[in-house]
Structures are given as structure tokens and as C-alpha cells.
């Protein structure tokens, strides 16, 4: 595994080996919303965490559905999970990696680098026949980690628009969301930021649900013009799939900025144009 990839991902095999001595490991099972949590098997020693309550601030039209959390709140959560400066944190989900990737990105944005995404998520763990648990582990408390904001680059709406014109802006939602449709009166615009390229986050995954090789990822991104020669910005619906693509870009040795508000914030502003159709510019709508 390349150095860049090893700083992003951990295999199910390697996680199982680390769990034989779990004292320095913090394992976080990540779901999107606490209100919609459902029962599912967990990896032993995993703590239950949620994007809406643990890794996000209060949603708003301006900030979008999943804005960044207040750093003091995130630090308090991290300490409740037992995180210390020398901890290894592993995050995973059962939804293709978007939720885990947003947790990974948020911790790195807050200055904690020793965090890995379980490659292939819960499905990879189950496919290798590792044991499961029915209940999450209790949060141990006692963490001493100090977090601070701004360690990964973010962009706002104007910068995303500029990226689309002057660099590379990747829309990591599914194709249908990118294509959109003519706007209906009284409803948010659909489509994409003018100039953005369609690059679904799921394209970074192989058939087994794990990330493609770093070489394949770099080739795929280069085909979109995202080869590092120009600034790369990434967005999706609310910042989850975009974080997954940033993980894929990082595994390929590329850096990108996250438009945290993403389409949920862009489409809430009636002054922001929406392009529809196959072309980067498409048809302009209010």
C-alpha cells in the first residue's frame, strides 16, 4: 500500500489484527442521522456515532444540511470517545463509505491526522468472516485530544463557482442529480453548479465495494482534468459523498477543497444559477 493510501485507508484484515490489542484504537461506527438509526451488526468495540449530532453543526439555508461543527463541541465528543493524541481512530459505515469519509474528513479538518477509513466498510468486514457485535461499546471518556479548525481547505459558494470556471469542480452526486430538470415554481433548483464536472463518488469503488487502486484512481481523475495541475474543488448534496471523493483523491496523491454547504446550500440561494443537462454549462436557470 502506498504511503498516501496508507494514511487514508485500513483493510479489514489489518483492523482485525489491531483489535486484538484495542487499547490505543478508537473505532467509530458512523451513521447519517441519529433519528433514523436502525439496528445493524457492528464491529466489536465500535462506538455508535452520527453525522447530524457528532460531526455537524446546526443546518441552515446558508450553511447547508451538514455544516461544520463548532470545534469545542467536536472536541468534547472526541474526548468522550477516549481520543488521545496518540490514538488511532478508524471510521466505517455500511453505506459505501460516504458517511465514514465525512467523519474522517471532519477529524482531519480539526487537526487529528491519525484517522483511517475502513476500506469497504462493514461489508468488507463481514465478507472476511470476522465477528460482529449487536450493541455498540460504551463511550469510555477520558480523552485528552486538543482540536482546532481549518487544517483542511474548504471553499464557499463564490469560490466553488470560481473553481468551476478557472480550475476543476467535481460534482460527486449520482448522474441523475447532476443532470437535474427544469426548475418548478416554488421549489429549489435542480441540476449542478455551472461549469462543474459529473464525477459520482461511487466511481471510485471497485466491484467489491473497496476503493480502486491508487493508480486507477489517479487515471480516472486525470481523465476529468483533476491531475493536480489546477485547483480541485469538490461538492455533493450535503458534503458526505464529496468527502468520500476527497479520500479517493488523497489516496491517489491529490489534494482538493470541500464545498461544505454543497448543493444543499447552493440551491437554497435563489441568486445562484443551476445548470441542467449533460454539458458543464447546460441550460441556465434561476
Residues contacting residue 280 through CB under 8 Å, at least 6 positions apart? 164, 194, 195, 196, 197
**pLDDT tens digit string along 166-186?**
999 999 999 999 999 887 887
Q: What is the pLDDT of residue 285?
A: 38
Q: How big is the chain by its Cα radius of gyration, in Å?
A: 19
- The chain-wide mean pLDDT, for the chain, equals 93
Coarse DSSP helix, strand, coil percentages of the chain, rounded to the nearest 5 percent: 35, 20, 50
Quick check: 232 and 94 in contact, CB under 8 A? no
pTM, two decimal places: 0.94
What CA–CA distance (Å, rounded) separates 195 from 150? 26
pLDDT (average), residues 103-115: 98
Quick check: 211 and 221 in contact, CB under 8 A? no
Higher pLDDT, 161 or 33: 161
Beta bridge partners of 232: 168
3-class secondary-structure state, position 232: strand
What CA–CA distance (Å, rounded) separates 162 from 170? 12
**pLDDT tens digit string along 243-264?**
999 999 999 999 999 999 999 9
What CA–CA distance (Å, rounded) separates 246 from 73? 24
In order of 35, 55, 237, 244, 253, the CA distances from 58 in angstroms are 15, 10, 16, 22, 32
Q: How many C-beta neighbours within 10 Å does residue 59 have?
A: 16
Among residues 156, 4, 32, 25, the alpha carbon closest in space to that of 96 is found at 32
Out of 111-120, 203-212, 266-275, least confident range? 266-275
Enumerate the active-site residues: 236
Amino acid at each position: 500500500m502506498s504511503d498516501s493510501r496508507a494514511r487514508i485507508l485500513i483493510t479489514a484484515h489489518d483492523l482485525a489484527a489491531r483489535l486484538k490489542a484495542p487499547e490505543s484504537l478508537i473505532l467509530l461506527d458512523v451513521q447519517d442521522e441519529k433519528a433514523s438509526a436502525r439496528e445493524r451488526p457492528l464491529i466489536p468495540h465500535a462506538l455508535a456515532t452520527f453525522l447530524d449530532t457528532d460531526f455537524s453543526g446546526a443546518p441552515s439555508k446558508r450553511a447547508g444540511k451538514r455544516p461544520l461543527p463548532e470545534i469545542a463541541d467536536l472536541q468534547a465528543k472526541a474526548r468522550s470517545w477516549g481520543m488521545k493524541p496518540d490514538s488511532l481512530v478508524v471510521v466505517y459505515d455500511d453505506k459505501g463509505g460516504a458517511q465514514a469519509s465525512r467523519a474522517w474528513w471532519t477529524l482531519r479538518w480539526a487537526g487529528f491526522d491519525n484517522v483511517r477509513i475502513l476500506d469497504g466498510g462493514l461489508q468488507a468486514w463481514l465478507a472476511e468472516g470476522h465477528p460482529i457485535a449487536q450493541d455498540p461499546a460504551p463511550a469510555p471518556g477520558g480523552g485528552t485530544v486538543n482540536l482546532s479548525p481549518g487544517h483542511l481547505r474548504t471553499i464557499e459558494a463564490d469560490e466553488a463557482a470560481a473553481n468551476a470556471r478557472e480550475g476543476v469542480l467535481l460534482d460527486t452526486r449520482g448522474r441523475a442529480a447532476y443532470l437535474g430538470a427544469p426548475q418548478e415554481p416554488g421549489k429549489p433548483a435542480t441540476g449542478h453548479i455551472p461549469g462543474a464536472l459529473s464525477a459520482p463518488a461511487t466511481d471510485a469503488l471497485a466491484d467489491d465495494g473497496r476503493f480502486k487502486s491508487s493508480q486507477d484512481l489517479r487515471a480516472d481523475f486525470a481523465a476529468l482534468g483533476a491531475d493536480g495541475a489546477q485547483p480541485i474543488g469538490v461538492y455533493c448534496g450535503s458534503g458526505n459523498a464529496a468527502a468520500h471523493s476527497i479520500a479517493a483523491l488523497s489516496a491517489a496523491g491529490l489534494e482538493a477543497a470541500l464545498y461544505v454547504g454543497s448543493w444543499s446550500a447552493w440551491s437554497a440561494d435563489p441568486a445562484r444559477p443551476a445548470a441542467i443537462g449533460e454539458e458543464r454549462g447546460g441550460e441556465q436557470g434561476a
